[in-house]
A and B are shown apart, each in its own frame.
Chain A
Amino acid sequence: LAKTTQPISMDSYEGQEVNITCSHNNIATNDYITWYQQFPSQGPRFIIQGYKTKVTNEVASLFIPADRKSSTLSLPRVSLSDTAVYYCLVGDYGQNFVFGPGTRLSVLP
């Protein structure tokens, strides 16, 4: 599985856009990039998945450059309820994820 590196923590204020970048320099051709969100006392929840370029859903956008060695999760206009840990995961079909420590996002009023 491709090793990922993301910031341990980030702070933001309500209403701001938050971008969390993940590095995955040894990503393989068949690997997908997936982001999960985990609130305290809950299991992780799927947010978004992509392979290349840009993916957008009702929750977030995922930007993947052409070389795919990094990806950026973008959360528009965060609120207090977006305070959570965000995990970046890379792997291909047939594998299972190991979730690293993730990025702890704190949204301040």
Chain B
Amino acid sequence: DTAVSQTPKYLVTQMGNDKSIKCEQNLGHDTMYWYKQDSKKFLKIMFSYNNKELIINETVPNRFSPKSPDKAHLNLHINSLELGDSAVYFCASSQGRTGIFYGYTFGSGTRLTVV
């Protein structure tokens, strides 16, 4: 019974396409996140939602749009994909408003490859 599940696990697509990644958590956490891990293994926060409200929106191209239909789901839609978008995208959740005090629970990641 996976705590944070994201689909798909792998995504290969052509430049210019639009794609979505879905995330669901069954932990009852209030906050969900999208992180991007680049080739150098830096894991950077992109967005954070607390009870369906956007609370963090880092400097991310507006081609990336998160959507939270309820507090258990946070999807990521990416328009007009570019080669530089290739990375592993992680969904995460936390009990508190941030992950520092109570810790993050991460999904297993979606490896996006843009060709």
Knowing A44-B104, A93-B101, A94-B98 touch, does A99 contact B33 (C-beta < 8 A)?
Answer: no
- Which chain A residues (24-47) contact chain B, with CB distance < 8 Å? 32, 34, 36, 41-46
Q: In the complex, which of the residues B4, B42, B108 contacts A99, with contact meaning CB atoms closer than 8 Å? A: B42
> Can you name the residue of chain A whose Cβ is closest to the Cβ of B43?
A99
- Looking across the interface, which residue of chain B has its beta carbon closest to that of A47? B103
In the complex, chain B residues whose CB is within 8 Å of the CB of A89: 100
Q: Which of A85, A87, A97 has the most CB of B within 10 A?
A: A97
B window 63-115: CB within 8 A of A? 90, 92, 96-101, 103-109
Across chains A and B, the number of contacting residue pairs, with CB separation under 8 Å, is 65
Nearest B residue to A92 via CB reads B100
Chain A interface mostly helix, strand, loop or mixed? Answer: loop
Say whether A71 faces chain B, with CB atoms less than 8 Å apart.
Answer: no
Number of interface residues of B (CB under 8 A): 27
Interface band, chain A: 20 to 34
A interface list, Cβ under 8 A from B: 32, 34, 36, 41-46, 49, 85, 87, 89, 91-102
Q: With A43-B92, A101-B42 given, name 13 new contacts (CB 8 A).
A: A32-B100, A43-B107, A43-B108, A44-B43, A44-B90, A45-B106, A92-B100, A93-B101, A94-B97, A95-B98, A96-B100, A98-B43, A99-B42
